[in-house]
Structure 1
Amino acid sequence: MIHFRRPPWWALLLTAAGALLFMRLGIWQLHRADFKEALLRRYAASATAPWQDFATVAATPPADGFPRVRVTGHYLPDRIYLLDNPRHDGRGGVEVFAPFVVRDQPHTLLLVDMGFLTGNGTRQIPDLPPLPRTDVTLQGLYVPPPPVGFEMGGDALARQLQWPKESIFLDPAEIARDLGQPLYPRMLALDADPASIYVRVHTLDLSSMPPARHRAYAFQWFSFALAAVVILLVLNRKRKPRESRYPNDDEVR
């Protein structure tokens, strides 16, 4: 039977505090996983949700919702932006974005995700179909822009003098500076159109931290909590006295 000695009070305190902290972090990661799974379900359900008035959600969209909207206005057809080399079905290409002037709201631009355009196997920009210069009505989901990462060399758009302009990250702040006008906090991801050259299969980008990764981190934190307790027990286990390898004097006599 294994026996344990009473550990010092500070060891108990440190172990309890560490285990509780690790447990709390693990539970928080599980909550984040549940939240993102619910977010993905709401995103999938938004494709068939009722239409909402763009004006009511434009400035303050719901944090955990993806309104389905219609909006009327006109493109700035000569101000196209390309998100370089996203992936669709394993093929390289560009995601095409165009600024849109909402009717009766000329001072704030709406960025429109036109869709994915398959690459031609070279670094040459594929031919872009012309955009209409007259008023049109668009419909789609009002969604957050893609995540922004670190771009070597800073603002790539400011260094380019001609459109379409390319970047490996789509930073709304950089586009707003480039256009000299503010943007709405979200962009419009257009509905699929069989007649369009663009592939419009929009998904919510959680690649940096999907629900499965949150659960993996939760398992890691719970393992740390268990390890803290095990270490305390191992360090305070009573060891049996080691038997001498040599006979005592009585046995010799």
Structure 2
Amino acid sequence: MSRPTGNLFGWTLALLAMALFCSLGVWQLDRAQQKKAMLAESRSVLAVRKPLPLRAAADPARKAVYDWAQGEGRFTEAPAVLLDNQTREGRSGVRVYRVFQPNMSQPDRHQADAAAAPPLLVELGWMPLAGDRRLPRIESFSGTLQVAGLLAPPPSAGLASAIASPQADGNLLATSLDHAVLSNALKLPTLAPRVLRLDPALKVGYLRDLDILPNTLPPERHLGYAVQWFGLALTVFITALVLTLRKRKQRSQAA
């Protein structure tokens, strides 16, 4: 291979690597902006807490946004859903969800053709796992309850495959809150796409807060990774440039 051809090949590899690193950096910047927007939206909702009825959880036009909602209804006898791989203060655990069936609101009762609000998943909070990963006992609820909280999209699934495995106690251990998988596992014809992050002030459930980014990277981490990717692209460029100049100097000395 001639020297010019070798230089061209080397710079081709360098440019491909730089393009890859820059694209990853841009993706991390985009994720940082997305999460900043999510945090700003949720903080605005939590500051005002203007309640919507629970049926808003099923509004397809709002499935990716945040709302404060409240209403009454009952927890069904459907199995609890335990979202696996959830950490809190360095401890491994599960996030617990139960199916909640809202009651029809008073205005809806006056409409003969009004349909009942579809059931939704309510997050009851986080519970730790024992060292042998024995699942905790999940309490059940009876009677009508008044609930309130943050309507939110389900937690990001990341790279995990959507699985909901039945356990010995009848509950489901899930790797993500995939709408289709859970609807099928819970034998529900309809299930609202958003979940209700139960108000921590309510005296029901387990340890919880309204952090919308649990077990995931905050915007600052994405920004840090973006800087690293752009730094790698710059390193590749400088390395390729130094090697090219060094080879030119060696050729000129040999001439």
Which ranges in structure 1 are unaligned for 5 or more consecutive residues? 1-5, 244-253
Which ranges in structure 2 are unaligned for 5 or more consecutive residues? 105-114
Residue matched to 2:110: none
Secondary structure of 1:48's aligned partner: helix
CA gap of 1:195–1:19, structure 2 versus 1, over 3 A, is: closer
CA gap of 1:235–1:63, structure 2 versus 1, over 3 A, is: farther
How many residues end up aligned between the 2 structures? 234
How many Å separate the matches in 2 of 1:70 and 1:173? 25
How many Å separate the matches in 1 of 2:80 and 2:19? 52
Residue matched to 1:175: 182
Contact 1:193 1:200 (C-alpha < 8 Å) held by counterparts: no
Mean CA deviation greater in 197-206 or 68-77: 197-206
CA gap of 1:49–1:131, structure 2 versus 1, over 3 A, is: same
Cα deviation for residue 189 of structure 1 reads: 0.8
Identity of aligned residues (%): 27
Residue matched to 2:118: 108
Contact 1:51 1:70 (C-alpha < 8 Å) held by counterparts: no
CA RMSD of aligned residues (A): 3.9
Task: Read off the aligned partner of 1:72 and give its amino acid letter.
Answer: E
Cα deviation for residue 161 of structure 1 reads: 6.8
Contact 1:7 1:236 (C-alpha < 8 Å) held by counterparts: no
Secondary structure of 2:60's aligned partner: coil
Residue matched to 2:171: 164
How many Å separate the matches in 2 of 1:143 and 1:37? 15
Residue matched to 2:74: 74
Cα deviation for residue 57 of structure 1 reads: 5.6
- Structure with greater proportional helix content: 2
One of 225, 236, 249 as aligned partner of 1:217 = 225
One of 107, 129, 138 as aligned partner of 1:128 = 138
Secondary structure of 1:195's aligned partner: coil
Secondary structure of 2:249's aligned partner: coil
Greater Rg, structure 1 or structure 2? Answer: 1
CA gap of 1:50–1:210, structure 2 versus 1, over 3 A, is: closer
Residue matched to 1:145: 154
Mean CA deviation greater in 113-122 or 74-83: 113-122
Matches within 5 A, 1:21-32: 23=22, 25-32=24-31
Cα deviation for residue 139 of structure 1 reads: 0.7
